[in-house]
Amino acid sequence: MPDRLEIASPAKVNLTLRICGRRDDGFHEIESLMAPISLSDRVILETGGSGIRIRCDAPGIPEDETNLAWRAADLFFKESGSGPGLSITLEKNIPAGAGLGGGSGNAASVLNGLNTLSGRPFSLEKLADMGARIGSDVPFFVYGKPAWITGVGEAIDLVRGLYPHHLVVVFPGIEASTAKVYKKCNLALTRCKKIHRVPDLTGDPAYVEGLLCNDLERPALEEYPGIGKAVDALSQTQALGVLMSGSGSSVFGLFRQEAETVEARRTLESKHPGWRVFSCRLLV
């Protein structure tokens, strides 16, 4: 059995995010078209020794049991009955608190990676069920494909035909609090249209561009005005559509041509040196 595995752990964007209502348990029902993107961290798993150890090269990321990657490993060992002896190294490229799912993606990478190292004792469905106990976005990352997400993130329908847009992602240096953004969300003012079935994408780029909507964008901009500056700046490029991802604070723009993203990134970096700007693409 291999004792070391390196995994690319991608970020995600929400191409549409509708908040449908709040449940009695406090969680919110959503409808969201989510897609992984080529911006990624690297997760390195090394078996051996005793206990679960985690190291991260980014300041401020916890290196203990509060890290979702640590929790994923602990849950996998408990479910599989195997003894913990694992070192996890996180090489971070995805900003924290950015609405890009970096922590959830790392947790899913640990689940998938340990499953590979252990001879695949669990199906993807079982891993997704395990992931739902760690975080609402983890099941999506377990599958790692564009998907229509409903419920509180546990209901996943994979979608095909998504046009492979190029993206520019802007992180304006704000770590947005998901709890604060949801608290500001007024369900009476949500504006994203209800989609009654899994969208048929059929490779039409204009269809996806027309779907761009995020019910959390308005409350996030109220809480964090700096996000609005990123929206405005990206809207002045050749982007065909601009949207905040998740609960923020990252903002992305869709482009048809990679060359357009290079120009947009260069312009944004020169005008806003404090921002982190990424050129990437949808993983379809």
Q: Where are the beta strands (DSSP E) in the chain?
A: 4-22, 28-47, 51-56, 85-91, 147-151, 155-158, 166-171, 213-214, 241-244, 251-255, 276-281
Instruction: Tell me if 199 sits within 8 A of 33, measured CB to CB.
Output: yes
Task: State yes or no: 97 annotated in a binding site.
Answer: yes
103 is in an annotated binding site: yes
**Residue 26, annotated as binding a ligand:** no
pLDDT value for 204: 76
Question: What pLDDT shows up at residue 62?
Answer: 95
**What are the residue ranges spanned by the domains of the chain?**
4-158, 166-281
State the catalytic residue, choosing from 3, 12, 126, 271.
Answer: 12
| Alpha-carbon dihedral sign for residues 61, 248, 256, 137 | positive
How much is the pLDDT for 195?
A: 72
Q: Give me the pLDDT at residue 49, please.
A: 86
Rounded to the nearest 5 degrees, what angle is found at the Cα of 136, between the Cα atoms of 241 and 120?
110
Known binding residue 102? Answer is yes
Can you give the pLDDT at residue 197?
A: 67
Residue 12 annotated as catalytic: yes
Q: What is the CATH number of domain 4-158?
A: 3.30.230.10
Residue 96 annotated as binding? Answer: yes
Catalytically annotated residue among 41, 92, 137, 215: 137
Residues of the chain with pLDDT under 50: 1
- For the chain, the farthest-separated pair of C-alpha atoms sits apart, in whole angstroms, at 54
- DSSP letters, 175-204, are ---HHHHHHH--GGG--PPP--S----TT-
Domain 166-281 has CATH 3.40.50.720: no
